[in-house]
Amino acid sequence: MSLKQQPFLEFGEFRLDAGQRLIRTADQSEILLAPKVFETLLVLVENHSVILDKDYLLKQIWPGAFVEEGSLARNISILRRALGESPDDQRYIQTIPKRGYRFIAPVKTVSDDRGVLVVAEQTTVQAAFDLELTETSKPSEATAPADSIPSPVSASRPAPWRLVTFASIVALASGAVLTTVVLTNRENPADSSRYGSAARMIATQLTNYGGTEAGGALSPDGRSFVFASDHGGTPDIWLRQVSGGEPVRLTNDDAEEADPVYSPDGESIYFTRRDRNGMGIWQTGILGGQSRKVMDGALKPAPSRDGQSLAYLSSETSPNDSGWTIKVSGLNGGSTRELVRNIPQGWFPPRPAWSPDGRWIAYTAGVLFGPAGVFVVDSATGQQRQVTQLPFGSTDAGQPTWLPDNRHLVVAYLPFSRQQASADIGVIDIQNGSISRLTSTVADGFSAPSVSADGSRLIVTSSRFLREVWKVPLGSDPDANGRAAVRLLDGSAAPLWTFVSRDGRTLLFNSPASGSRNLWTMPVDGSAPARQITGVPGDAVSHSSLSPDGKRVAFASIASGRSDIWTQNVDGTDLRQLTNDEPADSWPVWSPDGQWIAYNSFRNGRAETWRVRSAGGSLEKFPDGPSRGDWILRPGGGGSWSTWYTSNGLQLSDVERGVVLWTRPFPGLGLSLPMFSQDARSISAPFREGRDHDAIRIFDVATGNSRVAVRLPFHIAFRASWIDDDRALVVNRLDQISHIVLFDRFWDDEPAKKP
């Protein structure tokens, strides 16, 4: 290696090394940036003090490719976090409204005076954080989402783990960049030799077919995998070789299929199928052909390693039960028995997992806004124990998978309690409950791990979300309304859980723009910039709503260790915690007079509606069913109405009389929260109409009759809030992009020999 010295660019406490494509801080720590993020910074710094138009930046960073402005905005957001600034504290990168950006910090060019020291440090970095890429086809930058950055890693100290080296997951198969720090086992260094210390673990994106690819499962020999994808038009099961080639479609019908898994001999696939007749487990051969039904009323199949039994999840319960039941049935005509009952019906149904020796079945149980427990149950006796408890927000932990030693489980989880964050991959020791974190993600969350029989290969679903806010007119043509929608907030703010004040003037939303998810408000008409109104650290704030007078905000937060209901003034004063109990509380809704707050509370294995006075006080049970909806004065006075989404459909109730006025079955509601119009004569309810788009149905309050008012070209979540005197709606776009990612050389069947 030559020792040619080259200039560096310094600004603030940072030194930019263009040759090595990295940044060093004053204490010689390194901030590792994904390629396109670094390129964005380099262009800005080299043109410091100059206003750079967005078009110019896009052409410099993605030459010859069509990339939306949202990718540039996301790169800017990532850079601000890396440099320790916020959109309101623009010490380095200044936003020029409607034009572009300018680097405003003083920049000086310096030559390195340390000589060999730089080479020595670089040698240390390469030894501790090696980089491997696996190329399966030519990359296409045009489809690449914005790059992301790992957490800053110091190069001045050796790697504390010996599990694997640093791997930046660059999915060259699609051009998508999944920047992830792959770590090793801190908690159990004695076991680290089992995870492939002799070879670097390689990560590769396997799929990119233009749809949502999820729920991958490896064959026992690790050479092929199956997954669910809607890229063929409907959610079907597909099979492909890990080494490449075209995927084979195993199912092709109007039903929705998910949860594929190989039989132990690798000759067939079990999967969940949902159609107009209900839900059940089906089986098909690896070469396709006619599928056959295995059982009704079941999902999440898990065959035992000896091929004799099938564990699965069932929603069929006795009148005194609530929640899921894990059952085991013989595959050769044997009996069926209940193994575990009353598992709370959380956000994602748990999938049972057999240990390789057939002794244990592992599963997770938890609620959406509470902690998740990891359990193992004796498959013969039904005796179970809790192995560990995962932090709040670990909603992707519903599919553990065993490693070959019958002692360790691979799970997707949040290492720290968060209301909304990307999940990492970890390994749990069932003997002592310790968790070894293997990845550190920024943008792409992981879920649904699956390992080969020898543990040498692991695949996961890697997902990211596009979140935006749009305004939709309410004309007479639903399709024209969708085409006329305009964007109010782009993906750089990652807005979520939106709410519009009753007068239709103020937008309330949740955003991580300042480094942690908090609440922001802005005028719907864009006449003033958004401003942050809460300052709770740790991504601890979620659902929220404004009081009828717009002066206070109620929100759910895990700041106290559980999901509770809080209020404060919109100016940041008078913060109050209203609930402080064990159940997970969420979705606060103000009463029309501002005196009460109704909320969803997960108790006794199911969602219930409770209320508390907005000034504080005792908690009271409200009408049955979950309070995912709205509460408004009746036109002309004389009481109030509530509208909730319940298990029976959309419901309208007279609050004071405690009477349900009507209920309308409404499939496809999913994440919908019905909202009253400003005049209280209509109710809006988003729903899933197609695999690639959603629609909004409007209900007449007087009759319960409804019509489709809007068809959007994308998916939305939660509320469709009314504005402009009920002539338009504000919606929260929420589209998911997911692919299957392979971690090769994941597990060594034989421990490495010590010297």
Q: What is the CATH number of the domain that holds 74?
A: 1.10.10.10
The pLDDT assigned to 392 comes to 61
d(CA 62, CA 541): 35
Query: Cβ contacts of residue 574 below 8 Å, gap of 6+?
Result: 552, 567, 568
Dihedral sign for Cα 597, 601, 603, 605, please.
Answer: positive
The pLDDT assigned to 623 comes to 67
Q: Of 335-344, 562-571, 617-626, give the lowest mean pLDDT range.
A: 617-626
Structure-token match 């919908």, residue found: 672
CB 592 within 8 A of CB 530: no
CB 607 within 8 A of CB 597: no
Can you read off the two tokens belonging to residue 318? 């006795």
DSSP label of 118: H
Residue 648 lies in a domain: yes
Query: Cβ contacts of residue 592 below 8 Å, gap of 6+?
Result: 548, 631, 632, 633, 640
The pLDDT assigned to 130 comes to 24
Q: Is 713 left (phi over 0), alpha (psi -120 to 50) or beta?
A: alpha
d(CA 500, CA 23): 41
Q: pLDDT per residue over 490-529, tens digit each?
A: 888 889 999 999 999 999 999 988 878 899 999 999 999 9
Can you read off the two tokens belonging to residue 119? 């080479």
Q: pLDDT per residue over 326-338, tens digit each?
A: 999 998 877 899 9
Q: How many Cα atoms are found within 13 Å in the side-chain-facing hemisphere of 660?
A: 14
Strand residues in 108-250 grouped as ranges (E): 108-111, 169-171, 176-178, 180-182, 202-205, 213-218, 224-229, 236-241, 244-249
pLDDT at 209 over 70: yes
CB 428 within 8 A of CB 408: yes
Residue 226 lies in a domain: no
Confidence of residue 78 (pLDDT cuts 50, 70, 90): confident
Q: pLDDT per residue over 271-316, tens digit each?
A: 999 888 889 999 999 987 889 999 999 999 999 999 999 999 987 6
CATH number for the domain that contains residue 693: 2.120.10.30
pLDDT at 263 over 50: yes
Q: pLDDT per residue over 7-23, tens digit each?
A: 678 898 888 887 666 78
Measuring CA to CA, which residue among 221, 296, 291 is closest to residue 260?
Answer: 291
DSSP label of 491: G
pLDDT at 318 over 70: no
In total, how many domains does the chain have?
2
Residue 277 lies in a domain: no
Measuring CA to CA, which residue among 357, 355, 399 is closest to residue 374?
Answer: 399
The pLDDT assigned to 485 comes to 94
CA 435 to chain centre: 21
In angstroms and rounded to an integer, the radius of gyration of the C-alpha atoms of the chain is: 27
pLDDT at 405 over 90: yes
pLDDT at 4 over 70: no
The pLDDT assigned to 27 comes to 72
Alpha helices (H) in 163-276, listed in sequence order: none
The pLDDT assigned to 425 comes to 87
Q: Which string of b and e fits 616-654 if b means at least 16 CB within 10 Å?
A: eeebeebbebbbbbbbbbeeeeeebbbbbbbeeebbbbe
Cα–Cα separations (whole angstroms), residue 245 to 178, 267, 390, 745: 22, 19, 38, 21
Whole-structure pTM value: 0.71
The pLDDT assigned to 151 comes to 27
Q: Which string of b and e fits 253-286 if b means at least 16 CB within 10 Å?
A: eebbbbbbbbbeeeebbbbbbeeeeebbbbbbeb
pLDDT at 446 over 70: yes
d(CA 486, CA 369): 32
* Residues recorded for the chain: 755
The pLDDT assigned to 165 comes to 25
Identify which has the larger pLDDT, 736 or 519. Answer: 519
Q: Among residues of the chain, what percentage have pLDDT more than 90?
A: 43
Q: pLDDT per residue over 153-208, tens digit each?
A: 222 222 222 222 222 333 323 333 343 334 333 334 334 445 443 334 567 889 98
The pLDDT assigned to 674 comes to 95
Domain boundary among 84, 116, 148: 116
- Residue span of the structural domain in which 66 resides: 7-116
Identify which has the larger pLDDT, 563 or 702. Answer: 702
CB 454 within 8 A of CB 749: yes
The pLDDT assigned to 396 comes to 53
Can you read off the two tokens belonging to residue 683? 């109710």
Query: Cβ contacts of residue 154 below 8 Å, gap of 6+?
Result: 27, 28, 29, 30
Identify which has the larger pLDDT, 36 or 201. Answer: 36
Residue 559 lies in a domain: yes
The pLDDT assigned to 481 comes to 96
Q: Roughly how many angstroms between the first and final C-alpha of the chain, as a whole number?
A: 31
Question: Helix 69-83 crosses helix 54-61 at what angle (to 10 degrees)?
Answer: 80
Can you read off the two tokens belonging to residue 291? 């599928």
Residue 569 lies in a domain: yes
Residue 284 lies in a domain: no
CA 3 to chain centre: 45
Identify which has the larger pLDDT, 129 or 746. Answer: 746
Residue 596 lies in a domain: yes
Measuring CA to CA, which residue among 403, 389, 386, 390 is closest to residue 449?
Answer: 403
Mean pLDDT of the region 716-728: 95
Q: What is the DSSP string of 520-546?
A: EEEETT-SS--EE----SSS-EEEEEE
Strand residues in 77-164 grouped as ranges (E): 93-96, 100-103, 108-111
pLDDT at 150 over 80: no
Residue 141 lies in a domain: no
Domain boundary among 116, 151, 178: 116
pLDDT at 317 over 70: no
Can you read off the two tokens belonging to residue 558? 């895990």
Domain boundary among 94, 116, 138: 116
Confidence of residue 679 (pLDDT cuts 50, 70, 90): very high
d(CA 704, CA 650): 9
CB 224 within 8 A of CB 239: yes
Can you read off the two tokens belonging to residue 431? 């003997």
- The residues facing 311 across adjacent strands are 302, 328
Share the mean pLDDT of the chain.
80
Residue 562, number of CB atoms within 10 A of its CB: 19
The pLDDT assigned to 669 comes to 66
Identify which has the larger pLDDT, 319 or 517. Answer: 517
The pLDDT assigned to 689 comes to 84
The pLDDT assigned to 357 comes to 94
